[in-house]
Amino acid sequence: MKTPSRRTRTVRAALTTDVEHRAVVPPIYLSSNYAFDGFGGKGRYDYSRSANPTRDQLGDALAALEEGVGAVVTSSGMGAISLVVHQQCKSGDLILAPHDCYGGTVRLFLALERQSAIRVRFVDFSDSAAYAEALTERPRLVWIETPSNPLLSITDLAQAIPAAKAVGATVAVDNTFLTPVWQQPFAYGADIVVHSTTKYLNGHSDVVGGVVISSTAALQEDMAWWANCLGLTGSAFDSYLTLRGLRTLHARLAVHASNAQVLAQALSAHPAVAAVHYPGITSHPQHALAARQQSGFGAMLSFELRGGVPAVEAFLSALACFTLAESLGGVESLVSHPATMTHAALAPDAKLRAGLVDGLLRLSVGIEDPADLLADVVAGLDRAHAAR
């Protein structure tokens, strides 16, 4: 039989590996430590901060899904990002990052810069001239997040990655928004792929976790060393839940994306809306690039309401199928107000530069019945329109 597809391998990751009882679903190993087989008799596992069988099963599944060499499962997405920075950067090294990346990433890089640990420069990665100019400063690490959060701007991986490597930078891609199902950064030459597994990979909003996947054995070995040294590794229980969520990834994403497309069309047609940011509609300025580089358009979108905060309040006031909450990528639909929630840590001028206006709302489109989601959004838009 030919090698099973990525989808089949994801459903079947680590199934029937239990030799003792032949359990179909692998058991969870919660133990923090493992007995030596007599003096000097260390087995494969000794202490769960360093390595744990359940965490390894998740790491192997995620590395296989991204087609990387190995993975380090961390206790959060921010833990994964911290691990990459610690492993890659020495004092004074420059990190080049997109001006509109996740607010927590911005906060971490700026805080480390204040401590003189690193230097950071934020530029608009969709502006190729600005990006090329920034590369002349020879960054140690180029951080890519595409599509960006929350404006869904796309970085051209086929251009950006080779250009960064040509100046000697390591390239890390935060692939949280698309997952390897829709975008494979290693195919474009990325060195490292990072995820907040809190989002689509787990998919059920009941775990906070992360992962760093490496393209070479040497990088993987060093990442694992640093993760153990810093104590960043994820728990066995969270790993168990994430592996369970991962099995349904392909099925969930298909519904997420078709629901998002329905909502993006409806938002585009409504007079209460000034702009819709979703790569799956032809009005998105980088629609063609997204169609080329991604095998799906994702299920995150943002839109700007005319009328600022009063319109936002009216929209949010009576939603039935969208929960006002941070985070994304769970089966349930969420709405958030980036300027006051996910990106609240940004300074006012940084918010403006990143286009985070008061009327901007972000949707994480879930897998509910699209007719219910549509009715909810249209009723909200009608309220926002009346409140202007």
Please give the Cα distance from 324 to 321 (Å, whole number): 10
Residue 104 touching ligand PLP (CB under 6 A):
yes
Nearer to ligand PLP, 177 or 226 (CB): 177
Kindly state the helix (H) or strand (E) to which residue 273 belongs, with its residue range.
Answer: strand 273-277
Out of 100, 124, 156, 174, the active site residue is: 174
Nearer to ligand PLP, 66 or 174 (CB): 174
Q: Which residue is nearest to ligand PLP (CB)?
A: 77
Give me the residues paired with residue 98 across strands: 123
- 3-class state of residue 179 by DSSP: helix
Residue 102 touching ligand PLP (CB under 6 A):
yes
Residue 210 touching ligand PLP (CB under 6 A):
yes
In 35-93, which residue ranges form alpha helices assigned H by DSSP? Answer: 53-66, 77-88
Tell me how far, at minimum, the Cβ of 382 lies from ligand PLP, in Å.
30
Nearer to ligand PLP, 149 or 184 (CB): 149
Q: Give the alpha-carbon dihedral of 157, 161, 164, 169, to 10 degrees.
A: 130
Tell me how far, at minimum, the Cβ of 105 lies from ligand PLP, in Å.
6
Instruction: Determine the interface stretch with ligand PLP among 31-39, 115-123, 127-135, 173-181 (rule: CB under 6 A).
Output: 173-181
Residue 176 touching ligand PLP (CB under 6 A):
yes
Q: Which two tokens stand for residue 354?
A: 């990143």
Out of 49, 121, 165, 353, the active site residue is: 49
Q: Active site includes 49?
A: yes
Q: Which two tokens stand for residue 234?
A: 């994820």
Q: Active site includes 199?
A: yes
Residue 76 touching ligand PLP (CB under 6 A):
yes
Tell me how far, at minimum, the Cβ of 175 lies from ligand PLP, in Å.
9
Residue 234 DSSP one-character state: P
Q: Is 30 left (phi over 0), alpha (psi -120 to 50) or beta?
A: alpha
Nearer to ligand PLP, 307 or 355 (CB): 355
Residue 100 touching ligand PLP (CB under 6 A):
no
Spell out the SS3 assignment of 195-215: EECCCCCCCCCCCCCEEEEEC
Residue 198 touching ligand PLP (CB under 6 A):
yes
Instruction: Determine the interface stretch with ligand PLP among 36-44, 171-179, 238-246, 284-292 (rule: CB under 6 A).
Output: 171-179
Nearer to ligand PLP, 210 or 359 (CB): 210
Sheet arrangement for strand 192-196 = 70-74, 210-214, 192-196, 170-174, 141-145, 94-98, 119-123
Catalogue the E-assigned strands of 41-179: 70-74, 94-98, 119-123, 141-145, 170-174
For tokens 């499962």, what's the residue?
73
Tell me how far, at minimum, the Cβ of 4 lies from ligand PLP, in Å.
29
Q: Which residues bind ligand PLP (CB under 6 A)?
A: 76-78, 102, 104, 145, 149, 174, 176-177, 196, 198, 208, 210, 327
Instruction: Give catalytic residue positions.
Output: 49, 102, 174, 199
